[in-house]
Structure 1
Amino acid sequence: MHNSRQTDIQHTILLFDGVCNLCNQAVLFIIPRDPKETIRFASLQSDTGQRLLGQHGLSADRLDTMVLIDRGKAYTKSSAALRIARKLHWPWPLFYLFILIPRPLRDTVYDWIASNRYRWFGKKEQCMLPTPQTRRRFLE
């Protein structure tokens, strides 16, 4: 796994709740649809996740949203999800059109799903371990 601050600058980083089954499935969904490997991953609970949250002025105990760090800016909730879709191969960038919906409305839907994610999809006892093939994309 990488632990370089240089990686923080060069790559888009997705911070996700490492014990959330829905969040882990989202990461597993993204990996094969990002063939250029532009997105790196770190759990919100990791040292890197905690450091990046702090650097972007976000609470260290903020586990209710994924955080996308892209070009030095942090995006949360629906904005993060839609920016991720834009980086994936066809047809997923089409979902970025939902950015035209006002953010409060988009985030209301996001918050509803986030508040029910453990009940609907379950929770792991520990963070996901990447496979040897994907390990280089995960930050410690």
Structure 2
Amino acid sequence: MSGAPAPDLPDALVVFDGACAFCSGWVRLLLRLDREGILRFAPVQSAVGRAACRRSGVDPDDPSTFLFLDRGRAYARSDAFAALLGRLPAPWRAFRGLRHLPRPLRDGLYGVVARNRYRLFGRRDDCMMPSPEVRARFLLDPPQGT
């Protein structure tokens, strides 16, 4: 999937595997890099994460799930990574140019890391819990009344 329409989903939402030590570390890095606070986060294990995946055509039970919602479009795998880099401040934004590499190469590299991330970096028994300072940037439960 490359930029499937997702106009009714939250902008700048990073859906990640909250049980993955690598993914949780990536989220902590993004929290530090995103000084403007535009990014929002949802573990795929949360109601919001699962719903965003299903509505975007991504299997929430696939261990390689990574989804980024960007300006009304849903991106997965290496496309999500490139779109996410484009929302970060300089110099990180420059790396969005990775999207110009052939998709089979990008997705192949992404797949190697995704398939081996638990073995290489570990797995957590529970999802990453955000600190009180950044709790508002994590979307876990759908709004009441929807």
Aligned residue number for residue 4 of structure 1: none
SS of alignment partner, residue 59 of structure 1: coil
Residue 128 of structure 1 and its aligned partner are, at CA, apart by 0.4
TM-score, with length taken from structure 2? 0.86
More helix by share: 1
In structure 1, how many angstroms separate the alpha carbons of the residues matched to 2:116 and 2:59? 21
Distance change in 2, residues 1:59/1:65 (3 Å): closer
Unaligned runs of 5+ in 1: 1-6
- Give the fraction of aligned pairs with identical amino acids, expressed as a percent: 37
In structure 1, how many angstroms separate the alpha carbons of the residues matched to 2:81 and 2:57? 19
**8 Å CA contact 1:67, 1:75 repeated in 2:** yes
**8 Å CA contact 1:69, 1:75 repeated in 2:** yes
User: Which stretch has the larger CA shift, 111-120 or 82-91?
Assistant: 82-91
In structure 2, how many angstroms separate the alpha carbons of the residues matched to 1:12 and 1:42? 11
In structure 2, how many angstroms separate the alpha carbons of the residues matched to 1:96 and 1:129? 28
Deviating above 6 A after TM superposition, structure 1's stretches of 4 or more consecutive aligned residues are: none
In structure 1, how many angstroms separate the alpha carbons of the residues matched to 2:57 and 2:9? 16
Aligned residue number for residue 32 of structure 2: 32
Unaligned runs of 5+ in 2: 1-7, 141-146
In structure 2, how many angstroms separate the alpha carbons of the residues matched to 1:103 and 1:123? 28
1:83 aligns with 2:83: yes
**How many pairs are equivalent?**
133
**8 Å CA contact 2:59, 2:65 repeated in 1:** no
User: Which stretch has the larger CA shift, 31-40 or 51-60?
Assistant: 51-60
User: Which stretch has the larger CA shift, 31-40 or 120-129?
Assistant: 31-40
**8 Å CA contact 1:68, 1:74 repeated in 2:** yes
In structure 2, how many angstroms separate the alpha carbons of the residues matched to 1:77 and 1:15? 11
TM-score, with length taken from structure 1? 0.89
Which aligned pairs between 1:40-119 and structure 2 lie closer than 5 A?
A: 40-119=40-119
Residue 62 of structure 1 and its aligned partner are, at CA, apart by 2.5
Residue 63 of structure 1 and its aligned partner are, at CA, apart by 2.8
Aligned-pair Cα RMSD in Å = 1.4
Q: Look up the equivalent residue of 1:103 and give its one-letter code.
A: R
User: For 1:54-93, what per-residue CA distance to the aligned partner results, in whole angstroms no more than 9, with x for missing partners?
Assistant: 2112223123131001122211111111111111112111
**8 Å CA contact 1:44, 1:63 repeated in 2:** no
